[in-house]
Structure 1
Amino acid sequence: MKILTSPAKLMNTENSTDLLKTTVPKFIDDAAFIQSYLKEKSPKYLSELMEISTKLADENWERNQKWKAKPTAKESAPALYAFTGEVYRGLDAKTLDKSAVDYLQKNHRILSGLYGLLKPSDKVMLYRLEMGRPFEFENYKNLYEFWKEKITDQLNAEMKKNEILLNLASNEYFKVIDRKRLTHTVIDFDFYELKDGKPKTIVVYTKHARGMVVRFCAETNAKTLNDVKAFNYEGYRIDEEKSTDTKLVFTR
């Protein structure tokens, strides 16, 4: 079983761990290629591309100038610990034990606009480049065009026959996977909050829940779809009626 999540805009490369030996991202040369174009972009361009404030644009321009393919331990952190957004608050990697972290190293992958596909142990620097932004470089109209084949092929290469792929990424990121070329069953997820008896989707809760499912799988050593269906953190329960063979629906 492989588990996919999106990255997060919020990062902290001061987070470290003794539970993982850091590794070099598989697509580091591709990341350096993208970064060579990103580095040339002005703060004004970054502000417009990412729809961010002048202050954030300046900050990310600085990051782009400092970025390198072979960062030191001080300049980087393992991907599992570097991302700190809502999904990763739900996952809360820093409180996981060695066996759970080993499980994630084997099964968890993080999609990235800059790095393509990351293992938990892969060293990353601070960056911001969302997959869905219309970033044009070389002959590519966007990052989907650049990454789709590479990431899909890599997942096919990493996964064994009959392994399932848990899609806990956002639509923006999972669109980079070519479902037709992927030789494995994808399991999608929905999370609902019951308000006055009616199911509602609340984005921040959905992000948190995605991270908690990853954590649950790691803590329970989940191997099958039935194992995943048992997810019950923070009041969530499987809704068998709404769930299908390829989509799990959880409500609370």
Structure 2
Amino acid sequence: MKLITSPAKLMNVENTTGLLRSSTPKFIDDAAHIHKYLKEKTPKYLSDLMEISPKLADENWERNQKWNAKPTAKNSAPAMFAFTGEVYRGLDAKTLDKKAVDYLQKNYRILSGMYGLLKPSDKVMLYRLEMGRPFEFEDYKNLYSFWTEKVTEQLNSELKKNEIVLNLASNEYFKVIDKKKLNHQVIDFDFHELKDGKPKTIVVYTKHARGLVVRFCAETNAKTLNDVKAFNYEGYRIDEEKSTDTNLVFVR
């Protein structure tokens, strides 16, 4: 199976690991192509594009000036360790053992507006380029038009017959995959919190839970959908009544 998540806005390239040999992203040439246009954009453009403060826009403009397709070990980190948002707090990769990290290197992929599709070991630099933002360059109206075919084909090439795809990404990011051309079953997830006996979806908890599922699969060497259904970290349990063949619902 392949587990898919979104990246995170928060990053720290000081995080590293001795459990992975660093690698170059599959689509690094495409990332460099995107960067050529991104580097030219002003802080004001970045602020408007990503709806961020002038301070954050300045910070990301500086990142864009420093970005390099062949980064040093000092200014890059393996993707699984570089992202530090809520999903990655749930995953908590730095506390995984070698066996779990090896599992994720084989089975886990991260979608990215800049890099397309990343393995855990792929070196990334600090950047911010969200998939859903209307970043236009050349004849591309947005990043979906640039990445969809490439990412979908790459996933198809990595998946073996009858392997399933666990969609633990946001709608914004998973939309880059053309499900009609992905020759594999996709399993979606919902995470609910019981409040006064009623299930509620709370975004920050959902993000955290997605990372917990990735961690659970790595630590238990999950191979089948039934293995995934056993997910029980931090009080979550599967709701068999609400779950379907293609959507697993977990409640706590």
Distance 2:19 2:119 in 1: 14
Q: For residue 164 of structure 1, what is the amino acid of its counterpart?
A: I
1:251 and 1:137 map into 2 onto residues whose CA distance is 43
Q: Aligned residue for 2:167? A: 167
User: Which residue of structure 2 aligns with residue 128 of structure 1?
Assistant: 128
**Residue of structure 2 equivalent to 1:238:** 238
User: Partner amino acid for 2:55?
Assistant: K
Secondary structure of the corresponding residue to residue 138 of structure 1:
coil
Q: How does 1:127-166 map to 2 (within 5 A)?
A: 127-166=127-166
Runs (4+) of structure 1 exceeding 6 A deviation are: none
Amino acid at match of 2:40: E
Q: Counterparts in 2 of 1:72-221, with a 5 A limit?
A: 72-221=72-221
State the 1:48 CA deviation. Answer: 0.2
Give the deviation of 1:81 after TM superposition.
Answer: 0.1
Q: Give the Å deviation of 1:217.
A: 0.1
Q: CA deviation at 1:25?
A: 0.1
d(CA) in 2 for partners of 1:136 and 1:187?
Answer: 31
Q: Give RMSD over aligned pairs.
A: 0.2
For residue 8 of structure 1, give the secondary structure of its aligned residue in structure 2.
coil
Distance 2:210 2:239 in 1: 16
Code of the residue aligned with 2:11 in structure 1: it is M
SS in 1 for 2:160: coil
Q: CA offset at residue 105 of structure 1?
A: 0.1
Q: Within 2, Cα distance between the matches of 1:109 and 1:234?
A: 23
Q: Which structure 2 residue ranges, 5 or more long, are not aligned?
A: none
State the shift of 1:62 in Å. 0.2
Deviation string for 1:176-218 (max 9, x for gaps)?
A: 0000000000000000000001000000000000000000000
Looking at structure 1, the residues matched to 139 and 30 of structure 2 have their Cα atoms a distance apart, in angstroms, of 14
- Secondary structure at the counterpart of residue 148 of structure 2: helix
Hey, what's the Cα distance between the residues in 1 that align with 2:30 and 2:243? 38
Deviations 1:224-252 (A, max 9, x none): 00000000000000000000000000000
Secondary structure, counterpart of 1:193 in structure 2? strand
CA–CA distance in structure 2, aligned partners of residues 105 and 138 of structure 1? 34
What is the count of residue pairs matched by the alignment? 252
Q: Aligned residue for 1:248?
A: 248
What TM-score comes out, normalization by structure 2 length? 1.00
Matches within 5 A, 1:22-101: 22-101=22-101
Identity of aligned residues (%): 85
For 1:96, the aligned partner's letter is L
Q: What is residue 223 of structure 1 aligned with on the other side?
A: 223
User: How many angstroms apart in 1 are the aligned matches of 2:139 and 2:104?
Assistant: 35
* Cα deviations by residue, 1:60-81 (Å, 9 ceiling, x for unpaired): 0000000000000001000000
Corresponding residue SS for 2:176:
coil
